[in-house]
Amino acid sequence: MLGEQGRLGSAQVRWNDYLGTAAADDADALLNTRSLYKIAGLDRDRWRIVGIDFTMGSPWEQVVVYGMDRASAEPSPEAVEGVAVTAFHLGVSVQLDTFLAEAFQRISVRLLSSVMSGKDLVVADHARLAEAHE
């Protein structure tokens, strides 16, 4: 999420009951799908997509794609100040579920209760729940 001074940091929601990570496989190599660059309307020769921001459950939120101008100098691994990017707001016409299905082959999200922050969960057992919950 965009921080107060225009810096990207960890994802946050109002209460932060659960914290975690996410990872995704780009669907660029799949047949009959548009690349992330085509979905965003960005010229691959000019821009390098370096980040994506979206919120599920908030219909007024938009997908934002962060791009770095390829003409700019490559950021060094030692860069402490960060890397300058441009935020491309894809607009409300881009439906999040359609965007995710088209842009990514697979998305993995892992959330842990904020009470468990900084602790690893060690799975001691596996249990199957009933198929239907009421």
Q: Where are the domains of the chain?
A: 18-116
Q: How far apart are the first and last CA of the chain?
A: 35
Segment 6-56, tens digit of pLDDT: 788 777 777 778 888 888 888 666 667 788 899 899 999 999 999 999 888
Instruction: Supply angle C-alpha 90, 95, 99, rounded to 5.
Output: 75
Cα 82 to Cα 11, 68, 100, distances in angstroms: 18, 12, 27
Classify residue 108 as exposed, middle or buried by CB count within 10 Å of its CB (0-12, 13-18, 19+).
exposed
Segment 55-70, tens digit of pLDDT: 887 666 789 999 999 9
